A and B are shown apart, each in its own frame.
Chain A
């Protein structure tokens, strides 16, 4: 059962091949057996998952059928879930039980999904390796000495190890696409504003976007279908109509024009990954796509611009964690300042503190123009780069990451090196366009991802291309040994 994709689970449940309860208990057992070596879950909701499973079985037995009814999922622990701890993998919120449910989770619940629990992540989504979690790093099931990527680390690991068929994640600078690439999954980051941010703990508000990690594009399409759309509670959510993603999957690729940005294939790129990408290009050519070289000249400035703006936003988004109303409070504060200083100092991890410091600095009087404003100008240039590129091509393709998953601990003391690993993913967040990573090969037993980028609100095109690719390849169907 655990080898099935989400779409196949949906079909099997409809065909009554097994019950939701059977499936749910099976997965819960796997989690209890296998997760101790992977550390992908922070909170397992065993009892409520079984209750939800029985309720779903009951509905199915009365003839009610919906594609996601009874489909088990797990959620990145920055989505608020009423009555369930929502920790953001931080000591700050270790004791925080959310009083309400995030829009994306709520929509999935309404569609019939079952929540098995909450998934590990980099603390407050700050990190590209999963190592900044207060609960310890998640391990890559393809090689448990390596990172699974981040910040949606648990979301990637749990799906890759077949503990759950799909998961929610969030992507502010690559946090869905990069771990998807590192663990052999399909991960989609929709257009900024496509899915409501209501209830998703903010890291960098102008970048944060919920999305999904699953085995196939089809699975992602089903989840996106249930969650995309305007939400009046989120002023930045888009009023744009929602396409039929599932229907679009079967469209052939004939006539598709794909751009290859030269900046994605320079010396930064591990040449073995370059080879995998070119193999994928050949396969897509056979499916009718044509390729042209393009340029995104502002790309070299993307990482610094991203880290300035994201940290600036994070520095104020995290000001609410002050020990006053909820979350961690230090013991016996002697006065207000002591309460603030010690609560925040004791409960935030190193990476969170680093970004709060960077962001505070970038917004300070005298530095604002040199950092924050300049970064915003670069952001505009990058958006312009994509706008001009998409005048000539339907899609942009390149590697998701410059390198393979690295050894746990190897970049912990070199944050800048870790930041530079985001070079291929942050441009989409700066521009707000949708992106997808799909598994396209293996190097030394480690998965490699190919990234697709599309114009605003063209998620259907991303999913269609990935789906057509997956009809002719099997990289997405592989399972790490032992899982």
Chain B
């Protein structure tokens, strides 16, 4: 049977506020346990929440960026359940009236097509603390530093049809929240995590299959792997005559499998109701309009501009606009060298592999955009060849200075004096007289292959500095004499 997959994501983005959503405690990551837990975070009797306006502002920025409906009023609700790292016995969240309503985001797929993904809602809520199971034999430690950290839970429509699309969507949201400066996007520290709702159905069926939810997936790679694993598991289960049960599952990256956490029957009745300690949040229209003017150029707008202004493919443009830093870097390089194609090739090629290899972020690049742009200028004006440029690039990465300094110091300037090149070629041909004879009696096909040999010899003789185009032309003339 042909199967079809339906995926929806719930992304928890930790908002980059200085203080917690309902208390004045710091949100800095990694402090000593319980040093960032105030009376409110500890749920002392008689304490009350006060909403952090910065969190509201950030949620509105997100709403505007995904073209969502932002109602004049939104309401906080209590989600009730007992857990040791949930000090009040309820999580203050939003249920019926979230701050961000229906919106959408356009994402670029690998084949270059654009897909519009619906965003059902995004709501504000507080994070829980952490239970520490190690180091306390027979007991559990509780660290409430994270309790009360503001989260924006972004819920997509069930419109993603495979793991790759899900990852593309998650990456697009990740890019967006970092563009907006509302989330640091640090997945290792849990600032950006994802619940994946997955179901399968026979191709053509319109009703949805029973879904399972994979909780707290914290890397793009794991999103892809866990979804693929879950799709496979569900299909095999159904094909073997079984039934998918609605449940929450956990992905184990070590075993690359998902396993059941709790079924629907075991699920809590959260008894949501409006939190009586917090007034409905009023969002004045003029505040929204004011925020709208503060929106930066968004990833989609940037991608479209890169395509239009620089003639880039959708895929290249989306890679280059994947982060504000990357896009800024690219734009500086392009501006200096005035050659978008060259800039794209180098930023997505040499530079990206260097960063990957060193596991660095673009903001930590050992080669500055100015240096790279300067080097590309030297390629364009024929001072160096592309091949020499790779040497120069490595030297720049090693901190030896800018391209001009390196070219000068190492004597890498390209030879373009045709007299000098001709003299060098004469020497090469003389040294390989036998091959020259062979070349001259060979057919076109064989000649083509041998021509490469001569070019190689010539470039080696010039230590790579001879202008390759001139070498080609002059060599051809000489051999065909």
Contact = CB atoms under 8 A, between A and B. Distances in A.
Contacts of A98: 44-46
B interface, over-half SS = loop
A316 interface: yes
A197 B48 CA distance: 8
Contact of B87 (A93, A325, A365): A325
Nearest to B90: A316
A325 B47 CA distance: 15
A234 B80 contact: no
Contact of B271 (A93, A197, A235, A364): A364
Nearest to A319: B89
Interface in A314-332: 315-316, 318-320, 322, 324-326
Given A98-B45, A319-B89, A336-B84, A235 B50 contact: yes
Contacts of B360: none
Given A316-B271, A320-B88, A234 B48 contact: yes
Given A312-B273, A324-B142, A363-B273, A232 B87 contact: no
Contacts of B87: 320, 324-325
Interface string A296-315: 00000000000000001101
Contact of B44 (A100, A205, A365): A100
Contacts of B82: 319, 322, 340
A324 B37 CA distance: 15
B288 interface: no
A204 B140 CA distance: 32
Nearest to B37: A325
Given A312-B273, A360-B271, A319 B46 contact: no
A340 B88 CA distance: 13
A384 B87 CA distance: 37
B50 to A, nearest CB: 6
Contact of B39 (A96, A100, A232, A234): A100
Interface in A354-368: 360, 363-365, 368
A199 B47 CA distance: 6
Contacts, number: 100
Nearest to B43: A320
Contact of B42 (A202, A319, A325): A325
Residue in B44, B80, B272 with the greatest tally of chain A CB atoms within 10 Å: B44
Nearest to B89: A319
Interface string B29-61: 000000000010011111111110000000000
Nearest to B24: A233
A365 B47 CA distance: 28
Given A313-B276, A316-B80, A320-B87, A325 B39 contact: no
Nearest to B85: A324
Interface residues of A, number: 44
B277 interface: yes
Contacts of B47: 198-199
B45 A235 contact: no
A205 B49 CA distance: 12
A86 B44 CA distance: 11
Nearest to B84: A324
B303 to A, nearest CB: 41
Contacts of A316: 78, 80, 89-90, 271, 273
Contacts of A325: 42-43, 87, 142
A200 interface: yes
Nearest to A366: B269
Nearest to A237: B48
B279 interface: yes
Nearest to B140: A336
5 contacts: A205-B276, A234-B50, A235-B279, A236-B279, A363-B272
Given A99-B39, A202-B45, A316-B273, 12 more contacts: A98-B45, A98-B46, A99-B44, A202-B46, A205-B277, A235-B278, A236-B278, A313-B276, A315-B80, A316-B90, A320-B43, A368-B271
Interface of A: 78-80, 86, 88, 93, 96, 98-100, 102, 197-202, 204-206, 232-236, 312-313, 315-316, 318-320, 322, 324-326, 336, 340, 360, 363-365, 368, 372
> 7 nearest interchain CB pairs?
A319-B89, A363-B271, A205-B276, A206-B276, A201-B45, A199-B46, A320-B43
